[in-house]
Amino acid sequence: MLFDECYNLAFTQQNKNKDIPEGGAKGVILLDSSWSTTLDSQGSGSKLLGSSSQSPAAMRSAFTFYLNALLDCMMPQKNFLYAGHMQGKPELLFFGPDENTAGFMDLGAEIAHHRGYSYWKALTTGKSVSLGGVPHDTYAMTTTSVHTYVIELLSELGEDESKITKFQTGG
């Protein structure tokens, strides 16, 4: 069921963003039910991970572990991992904010920078301007901007918005 949901989200995103090379890849972090009580290397668990898998601390920890695991794969030469499948080409992934991760985009860029990832500024979208982010609302890349486009299109066509029914969901 979880795989189906992730696949369907990716499929929808791929169709929605058909002209964007990254397309619609999605990732899922599925935590073991005992994960939030697992001890870290210093012998404490709940302080680092939070009291449940849904706590803000646990979500941050899960994102951090997930990102670090993928950075390991994207920087195999620094981590002594097998890199033969790409035949000398770098593995490039990009992260965008989604369910429960929007607040971690700055953190993702900062971790990648700290670890020496060459493309750390491009790794995450939705990050602060100070980290190289582009404000989506300023440059017309949000649901709000799509709505603004529709309003302007209706005006250009001479249609009165109050006289029609329109429905918009998603971004």
Catalytic residue ranges: 26
One-letter amino acid identity for 144?
T
One-letter amino acid identity for 88?
G
Structure tokens at 120: 């750390």
Backbone angles phi, psi at 27, to 5 degrees: -130, 150
One-letter amino acid identity for 82?
Y
CB atoms within 10 A of CB 121: 14
136-145's contacts with Cβ under 8 Å and 24+ in sequence apart are 142/171, 143/168, 143/170, 143/171
Nearest to 67 by CA among 88, 37, 31, 93: 93
**Ordered alpha helix ranges (H), 1-55:** 2-16, 46-49
d(CA 144, CA 151): 11
